[in-house]
Amino acid sequence: MRRVPAQKRINPVIRMLISAVLIFGALYCIAILSLFVFGETTVGVVDSYANRRVNAKDYSDRMRSVTETYHFYVGGKRYTGFASYRSGEIEAVIVRREDEPKREPIRYMPILPYINSPEHLTDLDSWGVLYYCGAIPFCVLLLLLANGWTFSRPEASEKGSCRRHVIVRWGEAYALKRRGARSTGNAALRKGPSAPAEKTVSPPRDDTPGLVGWSSRCDDPAILAAAQSNRKSAIGCAWALAFLFPLGFAVAGLFVEELPLGEALIIGSGLGALMMVINLLRAKSMKKPAWEGVVIEKYEKDKRKYDRSDDVTYYTEFVIVIQTTTGRKHRIARDSHREMYDYFKVGDRVRYHPAFATYEKFDKSRDRIIYCNVCSMMNPISNDRCERCANLLFK
């Protein structure tokens, strides 16, 4: 586990707020487990009691949100407590005389009675114990990540550093190749006419833009660096969503009475795990090799969709069907966007670049435009670099 540089961490105020919520969640779980294992029971008196029906329209499963304050005595000293929870419709009803105080069993820690809770909230079954035991390390893990700790191994960092050095060397070699002819000519002029002529062989140039054939610029160091940046962004998005979903639902569980904290953590953790899996799969797919195919079919399809108010929206779906060299058919569908539909013709050979999820046309000699494979910006065919991201166009 290593520390992330300070410039890459999140805002300090947001980090403090997130850390406070996670620390509170971890301490709450530890307190409940401690009361379950080591707590003792006494009788307390309810000072205030309020309940509110949560789902008044649903008569099949009516629940109430209960909030109460209480006090109890341990060793002649008075202690107070507060609890907020959900209860059934019948269980929430208090049946007693007006002058009779409501008494309730309270569980507290003998060493520190300030840690207390109503007894029925600490009577855990096996699933409850498993839930709280799993929530503690989960909160600690999120706390470490929020404060800039990652679990990257030193070997991985060294490997990434070596990769960056390789890309730099490639970039230097690429630049020297482009300046090869000019450097050779300048050296010959400096030697003068009396110097013996030396036989020099210029390296072959493969960076000349061509309009027919696959571009070799996909191996350019700048393009490789952009692809690596895309993969890092996908992985960072996966971690961010896996962290923000549980945090957001935890905050909602603390401040929204209709959403209990336990249910909020379960829903947030499930959604965060789902988004992490989706983004990690996307990052993994970016490392796949490029594949080639031929456009075999194009067609338009009128479709419609309904919103929540039953309003109908009509739109056109533009579909391109590509048959790959392995015989599989790849379908590309765009709703009300026909740019790609007009760019490709039936019979065109195309190459798919997974690092950018974009397509390259084999024959560009009859086109007046070309799309950037890094940012998908439309450029004139005469451009050598993209007008938006300044990356090389695949020509």
Q: What is the pLDDT of residues 18-56, one digit of tens each?
A: 888 888 888 888 888 888 888 899 999 988 888 777 665
110, with CB counted inside 10 A (0-12, 13-18, 19+), is exposed
Q: What span, in angstroms and rounded, lies between the C-alpha atoms of 180 and 185? A: 9
The predicted pLDDT at position 100 comes to: 65
The predicted pLDDT at position 230 comes to: 83
Q: In Å, how far are 28, 64, 249 from 146, measured between CA atoms?
A: 19, 35, 16
The predicted pLDDT at position 278 comes to: 85
Reference 109, options 26, 47, 43, 37; nearest CA is 37
Backbone φ/ψ region at 288: left (φ over 0), alpha (ψ -120 to 50), beta? beta
Q: What span, in angstroms and rounded, lies between the C-alpha atoms of 192 and 179? A: 21
Q: What span, in angstroms and rounded, lies between the C-alpha atoms of 91 and 77? A: 30
Q: What residues form DSSP beta bridges with 77?
A: 74
User: Contact at 8 Å (CB) between 251 and 21?
Assistant: yes
The predicted pLDDT at position 55 comes to: 61
The predicted pLDDT at position 204 comes to: 37
Q: What span, in angstroms and rounded, lies between the C-alpha atoms of 68 and 85? A: 9
The predicted pLDDT at position 82 comes to: 86
Which residues of the chain register pLDDT less than 70? 1-11, 54-62, 88-100, 149-210, 256-258, 308
User: Contact at 8 Å (CB) between 381 and 369?
Assistant: yes
Tell me which long-range contacts 237-242 makes (C-beta under 8 A, separation of at least 24).
Answer: 237/279, 238/275, 238/276, 238/278, 238/279, 238/280, 238/283, 239/145, 239/276, 241/272, 241/275, 241/276, 241/279, 242/272, 242/273, 242/275, 242/276
Distance from first CA to last CA of the chain, Å, rounded? 44
The predicted pLDDT at position 194 comes to: 43
User: Contact at 8 Å (CB) between 275 and 344?
Assistant: no
Q: What residues form DSSP beta bridges with 88?
A: 63
The predicted pLDDT at position 72 comes to: 92
Q: Check if CATH label 2.40.50.660 holds for domain 291-363.
A: yes
The predicted pLDDT at position 191 comes to: 46
Identify the residue whose tokens are 């419609």: 304
User: Contact at 8 Å (CB) between 394 and 215?
Assistant: yes
User: Model-level pTM?
Assistant: 0.46
SS3 of 85, please?
strand
**CATH 2.40.50.660 placement within the chain:** 291-363
Burial annotation 248-259 (CB, 10 A radius, 16+ → b, else e): ebbbbbeeeeeb
